[in-house]
Structures are given as structure tokens and as C-alpha cells.
């Protein structure tokens, strides 16, 4: 945990110091120290301070919140469904967020206020998930298999509606381009407003989820076994699901669709730390944050003229790793 | 739903609500979409008259700026200003030292005293630039020649060059009037514009206005297509236009010796293609959102009625 925290801190400092405009890391640190009231104003240009404080720092904080939230809720989803392939998008959160944001861009709400885009994505994610939950719940019971199937159906519908809106939006090149870029995920343009939007739900939701680590551990032994140990499995599962959805919705609303972080980071950390959720959940938050800060750093530095999209980079790195996990899992099954 | 879970959900929603409420101060209110967006002539506008480090982030405003103010007042224009397939000011742009890109860090580092941004700039980027203390003029959407007149007069007023702006408006109107005068009473060929994505320009577009001025008939308008719309291939063939037009702008791709349209098996059956009446319109004119757009009318008149411009 200490290693992860240290790595995250170092990566954040590097990420704040690197960007389109070169600012020497030592100077970046002095500017940050000055902003925190820990040093005198130095010989830096005003624009360097502005870039650091209004462009890069909030962007890195959003990366920490989004990455941390996605990985943590991914670990919880995998625990709830007892399925290593589960991730926050499985019950339609990402598809709903995409539909909400695409509508905001197409209808012009996103041009009225900075708030409309993340709020529409947040609302889309919640509506889609509650729809999935409502369809899958009957007489107070929510079978996991029905929940997953409802998630696939509703998510598929949301994706097709998103495509339909995109089809109409493409008549206006710039609107179509903005929609495509949002769908690819990215943190460019994220400021303090996005930090304030995501911080509450992500931090509060993540802390709350970590309190259920013991229950998740017991639930891994099986539903009946957990019930016999005094855990009200349907109730705990419902709470965990709601909190995970809220955290994921808040992260997707500020970062766009970012794939594989919620899937791959918990896997890696489970291999290193083992399945104990008391260690795994906080580690997932730190690991996810680290992964997204580094991925965003790659987006900013790999291409000379234009930034790469975050969702593209995470998928390009996460995809091959996921395939590796599938092959490894298949070989293990075959040897049994 | 179980009571504590519901409480949790409501609690988080309250936090989100409070966050949004507290974040309200960062919201940038845009100018009106059309009409008179910037209240021309107010003191808030006149202050830009002394701007000496102007940065433009749109090729349309590059073109207006370079015709309106002296180059030493302009710090940066876009890279598109150097592309002859989309810009009419490639020569003038050589005097400007920097090429600006729509990136918050890049723009903040330039430290402009006036930043002119296109209508499509993302709200969050605009908010960051405002937070960085930028003076920003956000151009509204530009749909037709009337909008361009409004933009020219506004920028002229804002930058302290109202007479030059009026001269540019007069130049636009003069070009159109001259084209109309030369083509008056001539037979009107039926023409169709085909965009690279299979779109066309119908009623309510600049193109429609220019075709009418240049003594032609826009068959897309006849077919009831409004603004810029998709043209089904079958419909395009059924229209049987006398002349087909395409744009020279190919989105940065290399130009071809023969237009793609003439190699399309379906379009090759069209009378205009068979009889070799496919013409390439200057993209820098037809796609312009500045006073250079009316030069399209002259381009069209030269294609439709070359005899009017014979020496």
C-alpha cells in the first residue's frame, strides 16, 4: 500500500510537471509549494503558474478520482458477481452515461454551461442502471443472472440510441467530432469544476464501499455460507451495487468512457495482494488512480501535435492484458 | 429499496447537487446564437481597440483579422491559414509569427491580450481560459452572408476599425452585384453540388444564393433540400443536372488529378460526367466564413457563363 501511495505521489508530481508547455519539474514543484503557501513567489512567468494551477493540477486530480473510482467499483462488482470478468459497465452505467452526454452535446446543452455535460452523463448512467435494476427485480429479489442479462439488453439499447443521435449529429461536423471525442474518453479541459463534481460522490462512495470489505470476503465463500454467517446477502449486494453505480457514474461523467481500468487493475492487484478485500479495495483505488494518471500522461506526451484519447490508450494497454488473463484462465481450466 | 441504501443514494445526490450549486460561479454564459450577439458599440467591446497581441483560433476569423487590422497587432493565427485549399490569406498569414492550436496550455502560454475563439470551442476549455484571465471573444455560429456581415461589423467595432469593416461589407455586396449584372438575362443551367460525404447544399445556404446570383439553378433547392443535407445517390442521378460541382477542399488530403466522383461507376452514368461538365469549386471560397465567401459567386459565374469574363 505504501509503495502504491508513493508511486501515485511521484506520478502525480511528474504529471503536473509535463505537458504541451515545458515547465522544469523543480519549477513546477516551487509553484505548487507557493500555491500551498509553503514558499515565496519565484522567477516563473505568470502563465506557467496559471497553466499549472488551472489546467494541469485539476486534470491530474480528476485522473486520480476517476481511476480510483473505476478500479474500486470494478473490484466490488467482481466481488458481488463472483465473476472476474465483471466491471462497472456490465450493468449499463457507461452506456447510459454515453447516451446522456451525447444528448447534451447534440441538443446544445453542453454549450450553455460546463455543468450540463457531466450532469447529463451522470443522470444517463443512473437512469440506465435503475432501469436495469428495476427490470431484474421481482418480488424484492434480484437474481444476478437476470441482472446481467438486463444489463446487456438495456446497455445495448443505450448504445444503439447513442449511435442514432451520433448519426444525426454528424450533419454538423464540429458537434459530431465533439461526440466522438467524448465517447473515446479524455481528461483534456477538465478543471476545478470537474474536481468538485466528482470528489464528493467518488471519495464518499469509495470510503463507504471499503467499509463492506469484510462482507465481500465472506460473500466470496458463497451465498449460503455468507447467509449462515449472519450476512443479509441480498441487502448487502443491493447497497454495494448502488454505491458502485454512484461512484462509476460520477467518474464516467467527468472522464468519458474509459475502458479496462475497472477490469484490469483489480486483477493485477488481486494477483499481487491476494483476494482479501480489506487490502484489495484501498489498493484498487490507489492502483486505478496511478494507472489513469500514467495513461493520461501518455496521452499528453505520445503524440506531438494533438493529444491521444484516454479511452483509446487504456483499451490498447488493457485489452492485451485482458486477453492474457483469458488465455491464462483457459490453460488453468484445461489442466484441472 | 432498503432504507439505508436509499439514504446513501440521496446523500450522494445531495452532495452532487450542492457541488453543482457551489460551482455555478464558473459557468460561462455564451453570447446569443444569432442576431446581435455582442451588443456592438458598447464600452465592453470598444476596449479591444488597443489589443496588440490578438490570437485567432478559427480560419474564418484569421481571414477577417488579416483584412481588418495591421499584422503587428496579430500574435497568432491557425495553421489552416497557411492551407490554400481552405484559406484565402496564405500570403498575408506569412507575416504572423505563431500558429495557434485550440489547447488551453498552448493558448495560455501565448499570453494574448485578446483571444478570438470559434463557436464550437468546448465549454470546459473556455472556462479554463477564462479562469486563466483571458479576454475572450467567442464568435457565434455563421450560417450565411448576413451572419458574416454582422461578424465583420462587430469585429471592426471591437478592434477599432469600423471603417475597414464597412469597406469589407461593401466589397462583398459589390462582388455579388457585379456577378448579378454580368449574368443577367442569360440562360440558367441546372447545377448540383456534391460534397465529399455525399452531401449537398440546398435552400438557405450561401451556395444557393451564389448560384442564383451567378445565373444558375440549384437543383438541390428545387428538390426541396434545406440547408446542408444528405443527397441520396439515386436522387442525385434522377435530378440529371447540367453541371456537377465539387469542392477543392479535401480535408487535408492530397488533391487528385481526376475528381473521385468521375470514377464512381454510378456517377459516371450521369449526363454531366459523360459530357465532361464536372467542375471543382475553390474550397477556400465556398467554405469560408469571412468576406471571401462571395468570391464563390464569381467562381460560379466563370464556370456557368465563361463568356461574361472573356477578355
> What one-character-per-residue DSSP string does A179-236 give?
HHHHHT---TT--HHHHHHHHHHHHHHHHHHHTTHHHHHHHTT-HHHHHHTT--HHHH
Residues B205 and B137 occupy one common structural domain: no
Residue A297 has pLDDT above 60, yes or no: yes
The CATH number for A2-331, chosen from 1.10.1270.20, 1.10.1380.10, 1.10.3470.10, 3.50.30.30, is 1.10.3470.10
Rounded to whole angstroms, the Cα distance separating B253 from B218 reads: 27
Residue B242 has pLDDT above 70, yes or no: yes
Residues B72 and B121 occupy one common structural domain: yes
Give the residue from A12, A112, A121 showing the smallest Cα distance to A60: A12
Question: What mean pLDDT is reported for chain A?
Answer: 86
Q: How far A22 CA sits from the closest chain B CA (Å)?
A: 10
Rounded to whole angstroms, the Cα distance separating B18 from B14 reads: 6
pLDDT at A268: 86
Residues B10-64 pLDDT 10s: 665 665 555 545 444 333 333 433 433 343 334 455 567 778 899 999 999 999 9
Residue of B nearest to A176 (CA): B120
Residue of B nearest to A254 (CA): B124
Residue B75 has pLDDT above 60, yes or no: yes
pLDDT at B122: 83
**Residue B74's beta-bridge partner residues?**
B54
Cβ–Cβ below 8 Å for A114 and B106: no
Q: How far A225 CA sits from the closest chain B CA (Å)?
A: 22
Instruction: Please state which of the ranges B16-25, B138-147, B266-275 shows the lowest mean pLDDT.
Output: B16-25
Residue A138 has pLDDT above 70, yes or no: yes
pLDDT at B300: 92
pLDDT at A92: 85
Residues B43 and B147 occupy one common structural domain: yes
Question: What mean pLDDT is reported for chain B?
Answer: 81
pLDDT at A70: 93
pLDDT at B25: 36
Last residue of a domain, one of B99, B125, B160: B160
Cβ–Cβ below 8 Å for B19 and A199: yes
CATH number of domain containing B201: 3.40.50.1980
* Mean pLDDT, range A4-26, rounded to an integer: 86
Instruction: Considering only residues A13 and B42, tell me which one the structure prediction assigns the higher pLDDT.
Output: A13
Cβ–Cβ below 8 Å for B229 and A55: no
Cβ–Cβ below 8 Å for B12 and A122: no
What share of chain B has pLDDT > 90, as a percent?
34
Residue of A nearest to B105 (CA): A51
pLDDT at B251: 63
pLDDT at A18: 84
| Inside any domain, residue B94 | yes
Q: How far B251 CA sits from the closest chain A CA (Å)?
A: 12
pLDDT at B27: 31
Instruction: Please state which of the ranges A119-128, A302-311, B91-100, B237-246 shows the lowest mean pLDDT.
Output: A302-311
Q: What is the pTM of this model?
A: 0.77
Residue A115 has pLDDT above 80, yes or no: yes
Q: State whether residue B204 is helix, strand or coil.
A: coil
* Mean pLDDT, range B212-220, rounded to an integer: 92
* Mean pLDDT, range A290-316, rounded to an integer: 88
Residues of A within 8 A of B131 (CB-CB) are 50, 54, 191-192
Rounded to whole angstroms, the Cα distance separating A258 from A113 reads: 23
* Mean pLDDT, range A178-199, rounded to an integer: 88
pLDDT at A111: 77
pLDDT at B39: 33
Q: What is the dihedral of CA A19, A20, A26, A28, to 10 degrees?
A: -70
What share of chain A has pLDDT > 90, as a percent?
21
pLDDT at B29: 35
Residues B66 and B136 occupy one common structural domain: yes
* Mean pLDDT, range A101-127, rounded to an integer: 87
Please state the domain extents for chain A: 2-331
Residues B154 and B87 occupy one common structural domain: yes
* Mean pLDDT, range A297-306, rounded to an integer: 82
Give the residue from A229, A187, A209 showing the smallest Cα distance to A65: A187
pLDDT at B263: 76
pLDDT at A271: 83
Instruction: Please state which of the ranges A171-175, B43-47, B174-178, B295-299 shows the lowest mean pLDDT.
Output: B43-47
Let me know how long chain A is. Answer: 336
pLDDT at B265: 80
Residues B150-200 pLDDT 10s: 889 888 888 889 899 999 999 999 999 999 999 888 889 999 998 877 788
pLDDT at B77: 95
pLDDT at B36: 35
Compute φ and ψ for A13, nearest 5 degrees: -65, -45
Instruction: Considering only residues A296 and A24, tell me which one the structure prediction assigns the higher pLDDT.
Output: A296
| Inside any domain, residue B4 | no
* C-alpha dist (Å) from residue A226 to A217, A223, A281, B149, B204: 9, 5, 19, 73, 69
Residues B237 and B151 occupy one common structural domain: no
Residue of B nearest to A204 (CA): B12
Q: How confident is the model at residue B255 (pLDDT cuts 50, 70, 90)?
A: low
pLDDT at B7: 65
Domain count, chain B: 2
Q: How far A239 CA sits from the closest chain B CA (Å)?
A: 5
A188 touches chain B (CB under 8 A): yes
Residues A62-86 pLDDT 10s: 999 999 999 999 999 888 887 777 7
Residue B95: which domain range? 38-160
Amino acid at each position: 500500500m505504501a509503495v502504491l501511495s508513493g508511486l501515485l505521489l511521484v506520478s502525480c508530481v511528474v504529471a503536473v510537471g509535463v505537458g504541451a508547455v515545458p515547465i522544469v519539474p523543480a519549477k513546477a514543484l516551487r509553484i505548487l509549494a507557493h500555491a500551498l503557501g509553503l514558499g515565496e513567489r519565484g522567477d516563473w512567468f505568470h502563465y506557467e503558474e496559471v497553466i499549472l494551477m488551472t489546467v494541469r493540477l485539476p486534470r491530474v486530480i480528476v485522473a486520480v478520482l476517476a481511476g480510483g473510482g473505476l478500479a474500486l467499483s470494478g473490484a466490488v462488482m467482481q466481488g458481488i458477481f463472483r465473476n472476474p470478468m465483471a466491471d462497472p459497465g456490465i450493468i449499463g452505467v457507461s452506456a447510459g452515461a454515453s447516451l446522456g452526454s451525447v444528448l447534451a452535446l447534440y441538443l446544445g446543452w453542453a454549450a450553455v454551461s460546463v455543468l450540463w455535460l457531466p450532469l447529463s452523463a451522470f443522470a444517463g448512467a443512473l437512469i440506465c442502471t435503475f432501469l436495469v435494476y428495476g427490470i431484474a427485480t421481482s418480488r424484492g429479489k434480484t437474481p444476478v443472472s437476470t441482472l446481467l442479462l438486463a444489463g446487456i439488453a438495456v446497455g445495448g439499447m443505450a448504445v444503439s440510441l447513442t449511435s442514432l443521435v451520433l448519426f444525426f449529429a454528424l450533419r454538423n461536423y464540429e458537434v459530431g467530432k465533439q461526440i466522438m471525442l467524448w465517447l473515446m474518453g479524455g481528461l483534456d479541459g477538465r478543471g476545478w469544476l470537474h474536481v468538485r463534481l466528482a470528489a464528493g460522490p467518488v471519495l464518499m462512495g469509495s470510503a463507504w464501499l471499503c467499509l463492506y470489505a469484510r462482507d465481500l470476503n465472506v460473500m466470496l465463500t458463497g451465498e449460503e455460507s455468507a447467509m449462515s454467517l449472519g450476512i443479509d446477502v441480498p441487502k448487502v449486494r443491493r447497497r454495494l451495487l448502488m454505491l458502485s453505480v454512484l461512484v462509476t457514474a460520477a467518474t464516467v461523467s467527468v472522464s468519458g468512457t474509459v475502458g479496462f481500468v475497472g477490469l484490469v487493475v483489480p486483477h493485477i492487484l488481486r494477483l499481487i495482494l491476494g483476494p482479501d478485500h480489506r487490502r484489495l479495495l484501498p489498493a484498487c483505488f490507489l492502483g486505478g488512480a496511478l494507472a489513469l494518471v500514467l495513461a493520461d500522461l501518455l496521452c499528453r506526451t505520445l503524440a506531438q501535435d494533438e493529444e491521444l484519447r484516454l479511452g483509446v490508450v487504456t483499451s490498447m494497454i488493457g485489452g492485451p492484458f485482458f486477453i492474457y488473463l483469458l488465455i491464462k484462465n483457459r490453460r488453468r481450466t484445461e489442466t484441472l | 429499496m432498503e432504507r439505508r441504501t436509499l439514504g446513501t443514494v440521496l446523500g450522494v445526490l445531495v452532495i452532487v447537487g450542492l457541488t453543482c450549486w457551489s460551482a455555478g460561479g464558473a459557468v460561462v454564459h455564451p453570447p446569443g446564437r444569432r442576431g446581435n450577439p455582442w451588443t456592438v458599440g458598447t464600452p465592453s467591446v470598444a476596449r479591444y481597440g488597443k489589443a496588440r497581441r490578438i490570437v485567432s483560433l478559427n480560419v474564418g476569423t484569421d481571414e477577417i483579422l488579416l483584412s481588418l487590422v495591421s499584422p503587428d497587432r496579430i500574435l497568432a493565427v491557425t495553421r489552416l491559414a497557411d492551407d490554400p485549399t481552405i484559406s484565402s490569406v496564405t500570403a498575408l498569414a506569412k507575416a504572423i509569427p505563431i500558429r495557434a492550436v485550440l489547447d488551453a496550455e498552448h493558448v495560455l502560454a501565448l499570453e494574448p491580450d485578446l483571444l478570438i475563439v470559434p463557436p464550437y470551442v468546448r465549454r470546459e476549455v473556455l472556462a479554463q481560459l477564462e479562469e486563466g484571465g483571458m479576454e475572450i471573444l467567442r464568435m457565434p455560429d455563421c450560417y450565411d452572408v448576413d451572419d458574416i456581415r454582422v461578424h465583420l461589423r462587430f469585429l471592426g467595432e471591437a478592434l477599432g476599425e469600423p471603417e475597414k469593416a464597412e469597406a469589407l461589407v461593401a466589397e462583398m455586396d459589390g462582388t455579388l452585384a457585379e456577378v448579378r449584372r454580368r449574368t443577367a438575362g442569360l440562360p440558367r443551367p441546372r447545377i448540383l453540388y456534391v460534397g465529399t460525404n455525399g452531401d449537398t447544399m440546398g435552400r438557405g445556404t450561401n451556395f444557393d444564393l451564389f448560384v442564383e446570383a451567378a445565373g444558375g439553378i440549384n437543383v438541390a433547392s428545387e428538390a426541396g433540400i434545406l440547408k446542408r443535407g444528405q443527397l441520396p445517390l439515386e436522387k442525385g442521378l434522377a435530378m440529371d443536372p447540367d453541371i456537377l460541382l465539387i469542392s477543392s477542399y479535401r480535408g487535408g488530403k492530397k488533391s487528385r488529378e481526376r475528381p473521385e466522383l468521375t470514377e464512381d461507376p454510378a456517377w459516371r452514368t450521369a449526363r454531366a460526367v459523360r459530357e465532361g461538365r464536372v467542375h471543382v469549386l475553390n474550397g477556400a471560397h465556398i467554405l469560408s466564413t469571412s468576406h471571401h465567401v462571395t468570391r464563390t459567386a464569381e467562381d460560379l459565374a466563370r464556370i456557368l457563363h465563361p463568356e461574361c469574363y472573356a477578355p
